Amino acid sequence: MTLYPASPRDISSFAKRLRNGEVVAIPTETVYGLAADATQADAVAAIYSIKERPQFNPLICHIASLRMAKQYGVFNETANKLAKEFWPGALTLVVPRKDNCKISELASAGLHSLALRCPSHPIAAEILRLAKRPLAAPSANPSGRLSPTRPEDVRRTLPNIDVLDGGYCEVGVESTIIGCLGDMAVYLRAGGISRGDIEACLGEPLTDVPTEKGDAARLAPGRLVRHYAPHVPLHINCTQVKEDMLLLGFGADAPADVADNLSETGDLCEATANLFACLHKLDLQAQAENKHIGVMPIPHHGLGEAINDRLSRAAEAVDK
Ligand code: TXA
Ligand code: MG
């Protein structure tokens, strides 16, 4: 990888590369982010692959302004108030996805909500302005490792990724995450902006993530192990189409009458990019036709591990 000095030319070339679906590391005021165009599912899949995440956690999508954020998410009064006070800055808001939201379902890990943040780092802001796309960006480190706050940390731990050098990150910890999905503002992750500052802005205390499962599902879906389960029973490791089943195929050996195929060439990155969108589609079709969903076996290496993690949770969820 190369460290780019963040001259105007480098910034504009990174913005172009992001629009072309590449994954690059960029500075933000909290930590360095591993960024990709959030509207391109295959680019988002590449983030998971590079980080070697064993699960698909939903990713934070970065936007240039509150106006841009409102193209993708629904802002209630609380969300508006917090965005106006703390954006640009180290605050992420989880809001409902808008109908026809162009951000890939993989970035939301199949949830109906979306995590949005408007960063204040001038280089991140300029890239967002030039790219004119929302950028999904988790911290630029391999899964389970420390978040990088210096470009050299990214270079050491993700040697194949090009990094735009924005110096050391001012905040140094990830953003604070607040859930704005219902009447209550929920404190989902402590981070760069203190709880006290947020409560002072709202004029009332934040709600903690409930421990009771039903409430947790409603208020903080991203914190649950199971992010998405279809409404109909889902079975894994199926190889044949049965009468009461829609089969989601994988690879070239799939039977001809599969309902859909995650990747006809058996490409795990492509399968990841298609996963949540395919499940949503088949879920609707299966409900309408009163059928179950079956999924063909997915190899357990690379991104296959994350796909199998999601599928087995979805299968378990409906069996109970
Ligand atoms: O400071 C930051 O926030 C850094 C920089 C790069 O901006 N980004 C970052 O992103 O930490 P990420 O993708 O690693 O944060 C993901 C976390 C998830 O683990 C989850 O807790 C929360 O954000 N999250 C994302 N989408 C969510 C959703 N729809 N509902 C609830 N939580 C969500
Ligand atoms: Mg992280």
Output the tens digit of pLDDT for each of the chain's 320 residues: 577 888 999 999 999 999 999 999 999 999 999 999 999 999 999 999 999 887 788 999 999 999 999 999 999 999 999 999 999 999 999 999 999 999 999 999 888 999 999 999 999 999 999 999 999 999 999 887 888 988 998 998 999 999 999 998 988 889 999 999 998 999 998 888 989 999 999 999 999 987 766 666 656 655 554 445 788 999 999 999 999 999 999 999 999 999 999 999 999 988 888 887 788 789 999 999 999 999 999 998 878 887 887 788 788 765 44
pLDDT for res 225 = 46
Give the pTM. 0.84
User: What is the per-residue pLDDT for 320?
Assistant: 40
Ligand 1 atom closest to residue 119's alpha carbon, by position in its atom list: 7
Question: Angle at the Cα of 124 (from 120 to 130), degrees rounded to 5?
Answer: 120
The number of the ligand 1 atom at minimal distance from the alpha carbon of 192 is: 1
Q: How far apart are the first and last CA of the chain?
A: 47
For ligand 1, the distance from its centroid to the CA atom of residue 60, given in whole angstroms, is 4
| Both structure tokens of 125 | 């802001």
Q: Extract the runs of DSSP E, i.e. beta strands, from 145-213.
A: 163-164, 176-179, 186-189, 207-208
- Closest ligand by atom to 137 CA: 1
Give yes or no for residue 139 CB within 6 A of ligand 1.
Answer: yes
Domain map of the chain by residue range? 3-218, 234-319
Which residue's CA lies nearest to atom 16 of ligand 1? Answer: 59
User: Of all helices (H) and strands (E), which one includes residue 261?
Assistant: strand 260-261
Q: Which residues of 259-285 are buried (b: 16+ CB within 10 A; e: fewer)?
A: bbbbbeebbbbbbbbbbbebbeebbee
138 CA → ligand 2 middle, Å = 6
Q: How far is CA 171 from CA 29, 63, 121, 192, in A?
A: 6, 18, 10, 6
What does the pLDDT read at residue 55?
A: 77
Token pair, residue 273, equals 């990019």
Q: What is the pLDDT of residue 253?
A: 94
Which ligand 1 atom sits nearest the alpha carbon of residue 171? 1
pLDDT at 1: 56
Among candidate residues 279, 255, 274, the one with its CA nearest the CA of residue 263:
274
Distance 139 CA to ligand 2 centre (A): 4
Is 33 close to ligand 1, i.e. is its CB under 6 Å away?
yes
Please answer whether residues 285 and 259 qualify as being in contact, where contact means their C-beta atoms are separated by less than 8 angstroms.
yes
Q: Ligand 1 pocket check: which of 18, 48, 50, 59 to mutate, most ligand atoms within 8 Å of Cβ?
A: 59
Closest CA to 60 of 109, 125, 11: 109
Atom number in ligand 1 closest to CA 139:
6
Residue minimizing CA distance to atom 31 of ligand 1:
222
Question: What would the CATH number be for the domain defined by 3-218?
Answer: 3.90.870.10
* Ligand 1 binding pocket includes 63 (Cβ within 6 Å): no
Do 64 and 121 meet the contact criterion of CB atoms below 8 Å apart? no
Unique residue bearing structure tokens 């004119």: 132
Contact 151, 166 (CB under 8 A): yes
**Pick from 184, 191, 230: which is nearest to 77 by CA?**
184
Q: pLDDT at position 179, please?
A: 96
**pLDDT at position 319:** 43
Q: Is the CB of residue 174 below 6 angstroms from any atom belonging to ligand 1?
A: yes
DSSP structure class, residue 221: G
Q: Which of 30, 60, 106, 169 to mutate to test the pocket of ligand 1 (most atoms within 8 A of CB)?
A: 60
DSSP conformational letter for 233: -
How many A from CA of 28 to the centre of ligand 2? 13
Which tokens belong to 119? 């960063």
Q: Whose CA is nearest to atom 33 of ligand 1?
A: 222
Q: Are 138 and 50 in contact (CB under 8 A)?
A: no
Tokens standing for residue 318: 């409906």
Nearest ligand for residue 118 CA: 1
